[in-house]
Amino acid sequence: MHTAVEKGKSTHGIGLLSHAVVGYPSVSINVETIAAFAEAGVNLMELQFPFSDPVADGPVLTHANQVALASGTSVNDVLDLAAQVTQKHPGVAFIAMTYMNIVFRRGIERFISNIRAAGISGIIVPDLPLENAHEFRKICEREQVGTAFLVTPTTTEQRAREICTASSGFVYCVGRSGVSGAATVFSTKMLAFFSRVREQSDVPVGVGFGIRTRDDVAGLEGIADIAIVCTEAIKRVEQQGVSATAAYLSSLRRVGRRDAADHAPG
């Protein structure tokens, strides 16, 4: 996972993470979308296991979860897709995004073992409190699955330090209070908050919730390691199609050294 982040930073100044709700709008479109996003330079991809009560997700992702569940998408379907795309796109780090009920139903040990066998290298569980995560973290460490815990603008400094310590993959810095999807404006105070978290963390720091524009991403360079663009990508795939969304993601970061060399006049 860290290799993928460093590649994004060295080429574009910051890593880029996006998202797929597996089964929305269909698994075949997920495969097409992931391929296009990888080609567009996305460094990390969340694969979301559909869940009936995705408490951290806004209306767009909640709807996507409902559609995926209605079509019968199962945990095994997500694992099958993961095994396929991780083989096809070895330069992309794939991260499981799920809720604890799904993990408990399968069993923590079995679930983590399953995702690792499918090639997934990290996991985000937004509704898992740090106090209840000891066994989960121990199993993830053994299976070499990086953990990503969330820190929010209302998190105390002591709590933020604990979250940074517990996160072995990256720290997910929430750009504002609330659920995913709404627009975000980064105040000076908010940018200082991101910087403090980065100073406390030994692993990369990603910023998400409301990242939409090239200016949003540019404003995070030097403050965060990963720009997280999830809801906007899902919405654009539905409204504009896969190719247009891939082009949008590609446009969010400055042209890197390698890209500039590729496009330099001969």
Query: Rounded to an integer, what distance in angstroms lies between the CA atom of residue 139 and that of residue 134?
Result: 9
Q: For residue 179, what pLDDT band results from cuts at 50, 70 and 90?
A: very low
For the stretch 73-85, pLDDT in tens is 999 999 999 999 9
CA 45, distance to chain mean position in Å, is: 6
Instruction: Give CA separation, 46 vs 1, 159, 230, in Å.
Output: 12, 25, 8
Secondary structure E strands in 41-185: 44-48, 93-97, 122-124, 146-148, 150-151, 171-174
For the stretch 30-65, pLDDT in tens is 999 999 999 999 999 999 999 998 887 889 999 999
SS3 123: strand
Query: Rounded to an integer, what distance in angstroms lies between the CA atom of residue 113 and that of residue 97?
Result: 15
pLDDT value at residue 189 = 85
Q: What is the identity of the amino acid at 164?
A: C
Other CB atoms closer than 10 Å to residue 119's CB: what's the count? 18
Tokens of 206: 């990603």
Tokens of 166: 């517990």
Q: What is the mean pLDDT of residues 254-260?
A: 59
> How many alpha carbons lie under 13 Å from residue 192 in its C-beta half-sphere?
4
- The residue that leads in pLDDT, 114 or 174, is 114
Catalytic member of 57, 77, 216, 232: 57
Tokens of 40: 């567009």
User: Taking the C-alpha atoms of 121, 216, 7 and 235 in order, what is their torsion angle to the nearest 10 degrees?
Assistant: 50
pLDDT value at residue 177 = 46
Q: Which long-range contacts (CB under 8 A, 24 or more apart) does 7-10 make?
A: 7/43, 7/91, 8/41, 8/43, 8/44, 8/226, 8/253, 9/225, 10/256, 10/257
Catalytic member of 32, 39, 46, 77: 46
The domains of the chain, with CATH numbers, are 2-251 (3.20.20.70)
pLDDT at 101 over 60: yes
In this structure, of 60-64, 106-110, 201-205, 210-214, the range with the lowest mean pLDDT score is 210-214
Q: For residue 210, what pLDDT band results from cuts at 50, 70 and 90?
A: confident
Q: For residue 187, what pLDDT band results from cuts at 50, 70 and 90?
A: confident
pLDDT value at residue 184 = 52
57 has catalytic annotation: yes
pLDDT at 67 over 60: yes
pTM above 0.75, yes or no: yes
